[in-house]
Amino acid sequence: MNTMTPAILAASTNLGPKFMLIAPEAVLFAGAVLCAVMGLSHARAVRAMVPWIAVVALIATFVTMLKMWTPEAATAAQLPMPMLGKYIIALLCVVGVGHVLASIGSVDRAVERQVASGTGAFDPVRVIQGEFYAFILLSLCGGMLLCHATDLVWLFLAFELCSLPTYVLVAIGRGADRSMEAAIKYFFLGAMSTATLLLGFAFLYGATGTLELSAMRESFQMQAQTGGIGSVAIVGMLLAVIGICFKLAAVPMHFYAPDVYEGASSPVAAFISFVPKVQGFVTLIVLLGTVGWSANGDSSIPPVIAAVLWMIAVLTMTLGNIGALLQRSAKRMLAYSSIANSGYMLVGILAGPTVGIDATLLYLLTYGVANLATFGSLAAIERNGHEVDSIDDLAGLRVRAPMVAAALAIGALSLTGIPPLLGFWGKLDLFVASAESHQRTLLVIMALNSGVAAFYYLRLVAMPFVQEPTPRTQGVSPVPSVWPRLSALIFAAGCIALPFFANQLKGEAAAAARTDLDKQATVAQSVEK
């Protein structure tokens, strides 16, 4: 009881600053509620405003974050990783706008056409646009709330708030039996991963006697000075890591990704390939900062945990790239690519907090931008009124949709790591971090995997520009809505323009990592005294 009292008192004294810092999430939640309500309106013009309400809500959230998320406020709220939170919220807002734009025109298209022509009456049960954009905002809200977590309960609840809407998005985004099958598979496997994560948290609580992250870190610091972290805590961390692997689509929880991505609509597949990754890596960074990383920034993760993460990283990037090589479905290929990219980012985690976290954060940005350019290109075209999925459908795309073909090529080349595109700088930073942390074996494995990845990424470049159109591709054309095309072009342009700000982006990621490490160092030094 005595060990819990200080943590409880500390938590009660900083509720005010905490509530001030969740103002951005409050704005986003209000936007989600407004989207859901407006989506039920009988007026077609009101329903058409729903995606723009989502865009405005994300912009307002970003502005509110800049106003409210100051170093002083974050310190007063006693957040464990305050600057990391600011970086992640900004990243989710920017990429979230792209996801909303990529989905405009894909939701309720057939229903709205019937209503407009008078062949069908408005039915709130059939119209899902409001719920669709509301769930996007709610998932993003959960990802942002992770950055506020000061205890395992908050961390778990935010984790679930980010996850639960994605299950629904997979089911409703496409409106087909395959989508429902993918959603059911996604939900049940997600439930299993959640149970594993929760069990891990229970072990961590058992090992420390507290749910507060700061008190937990103090406990682990004292354990490390008196013989090392106990087996109960190590088991808890391993279980938590396995649960997080589901969000990362990392081994051993990777096998759902190809089926789910293929069953989901292209905009939803783009969303679940990125946002859960951000969620997973934030949770992993917070937990590792609690249990292992030392005050001077060196990686002092228990050897068992480090070895497991090493194996997961190697298997994830290798199996992901091999699986992608064998695919003829564009979305299944990108699903395996998503798996492989999680493996790359785990290399940054293994490089340690001093050079590794900022490399991982920068790669999250580069992957999010390039991934949206690629998936957005798929969302911007159709074949005979249906989604394009087969790689064969991309043959000669330069003829029917030259701008979409260009965006697809730029996104794929950036994911490959071709200089001077944005993806090159993200991968380069991971290579440098791996070298500086003396992870030479991982560096070699990552280099070999990057070479393998080039083969299937370049296929997405060659098909539109090298291959000639075929009878199959005669039915391929841009979707009626211009916004998916514009979203793909904007983020493709980002792959070209953002490298000019590479040093600044790197500085922002490094500041997010180093500032938080300095804060944790102060805590650790107080424990030592």
**In the chain, where are the structural domains located?**
20-528
Q: Which pLDDT tens digit goes with each residue over 396-421? A: 999 989 999 999 999 999 999 999 99
Q: pLDDT at position 525, please?
A: 47
% of the chain surpassing 90 pLDDT: 48
Cis-peptide, bond into residue 464, ω within 30° of zero: no
Per the CB < 8 A criterion, the answer to whether 267 and 173 are in contact is yes
Q: Is residue 235 packed enough to be buried (19+ CB in 10 Å), middle (13-18) or exposed (0-12)?
A: middle
CA 167/CA 115 separation, integer angstroms: 28
What pTM was estimated for this model as a whole? 0.90
Q: Which two tokens stand for residue 128?
A: 């899902």
End-to-end Cα, the chain, rounded Å? 23
CA 200/CA 418 separation, integer angstroms: 40
Region of 120 (left: φ > 0; alpha: ψ -120 to 50; beta: rest) is beta
What integer is the mean pLDDT of 329-357? 90
pLDDT at residue 527 above 50?
Answer: no
CA 366/CA 95 separation, integer angstroms: 11
Sequence-ordered list of residues with C-beta below 8 angstroms from that of 469, at least 6 positions apart, any chain: 395, 396, 399, 400
- Collapsing DSSP to helix, strand or coil, 265 comes out as coil
Per the CB < 8 A criterion, the answer to whether 290 and 220 are in contact is yes
What integer is the mean pLDDT of 73-87? 72
Q: Which two tokens stand for residue 310?
A: 């090493």
167 closest CA partner among 204, 144, 193, 200: 193
Q: Which pLDDT tens digit goes with each residue over 275-310? A: 999 999 989 988 888 876 654 444 567 888 889 999
- Collapsing DSSP to helix, strand or coil, 10 comes out as helix
pLDDT at residue 261 above 50?
Answer: yes
Q: Which two tokens stand for residue 212?
A: 């507060």
